[in-house]
Chain A
Amino acid sequence: MITVPAVRFGVVVFPGSNCDADARHALSTFGDADVRLLWHKDTSVGDVQAIVLPGGFSYGDYLRCGAIARFSPIMQAVTEFAEAGGLVLGICNGFQILTEAGLLPGALLRNTGLKFVCRYVNLKVENAATPFTGACREGDLLRIVVKHNEGNYTVDPATYTKMQANRQIVLRYVDARGERAAGANPNGALDDIAGVCNEHGNVFGMMPHPENSVEAELAGGADGGKIFRSMIDALRPAVPA
């Protein structure tokens, strides 16, 4: 029997992260993933194969979400890891940190409703050819919870044009039929954008929380598991037939 080694994930813990344990727990439900926590004061990411920047309120979201966290020592290492092609997933606050750090284009503004919003959204997979969505088909719907105050994605028009051409819009908020619709977008994000990747496709940020959506018996359902499945599959050496 040939055993394929588990994929090594690092989950970064910033002061104020509060979905770090959830991300670790979610990954631990996959038999072929190993997880370790990376401390924000660390200067190296070690030998991990993928990094998750978790949700939460790093530094209380004070000043701007992600603004202080992005200066953490670990972020220098994460940047180098990303530039070398490593997979980096930013969830919610992690997404905000990635935009603040310049690893993803755009920025996340206050929700148009000016309120924190926790609810289920339907997400359409717009691009299934990324390492984060490979386990999905294009047009698939994922039902996952969002919970944030600042998820209103914005980017300048010139960059947006390039992003579209480059298929960097990976997830959009849609209705239960998979259609773009008023009311489907919980935060006012530009063109219903819920998740984007960088030009090379190895850095991905999304506002909804896949780590709260890996176990069917819980309220969060299991649709989010596809994001982690995709990452694991992308990193596992092909199993010999």
Chain B
Amino acid sequence: MFIQQLINGLILGSTYALIALGYTMVYGIIELINFAHGEIYMFGAFVGLILVTVFKVPFILAFLLAMAAGALLGITVEYLAYRPLRQSSRLAALISAIGASIFLSNLALLIMGAQPYTFPSPFDATVYRTSLFVISKVEIIVLASSILLMIALTLFVQRTKVGKAMRATAQDKDTASLMGININRIITITFAIGSALGAAAGVMVGVYFRTVTPTMGLMPGLKGFVAAVIGGIGNIPGAMFGGIALGIAEVMGAAYISSQYRDAVAFALLIIVLLLKPSGLLGRTAQEKV
């Protein structure tokens, strides 16, 4: 049973990781807790759903289009709600983000209604059974795609010029602009990528859990944020590990302590992790230079 629970945690964790990746991306660059990320995730799921069910678009295409739509929405939100606050405190931007999040989820409610929609699964329901555990094809795809995205994203940020420019922008915008970096463009790209990932997560998780609702972004958005922080702010592999840590903590909490205290146990474990590693699992622990 332990192995099965571990796998359960791993899969649940990778759904969090999918969300956390986009989260941490934006978070790492402009140090903004992009509260609306959960709504972009929801939006992506809806776009994917509508394309597949109403327009009968093939899944892969719908997936890509949803990512594009997510990117577009992310850019719009950034432009309207965050850019005007670029020079202000992080908290002001946080409140603006909360406002944007409330706005978007209620807009979706108005348009789509409150009933959950069912996402038709594009994958067959194959289940692989071993003596120790059971895993389905969708689960493998979810896990694999989160790992792939993490690797791709890490390489992008660490190795490419744009990625480095993102990190530079994250650390000091003025100085970055003195290097010839177009700050607005970099931030736009960041939001585009982060939001596309958010939308991708929405579609993946929508397919995996089968339902799409206007409020589906809230909890996962929160968990994505938690995962991103647990992993170390702005750290892409960290987001992945943070997500998985959260998933496993939840599952183990439910399995071995009490399902009634599932989230409580998960949070308690994570707080303990933070106390041991105050800047996240993979965060830099370098001593502050005085």
Q: Do A and B bind each other?
A: no
Residues of A within 8 A of B (CB): none
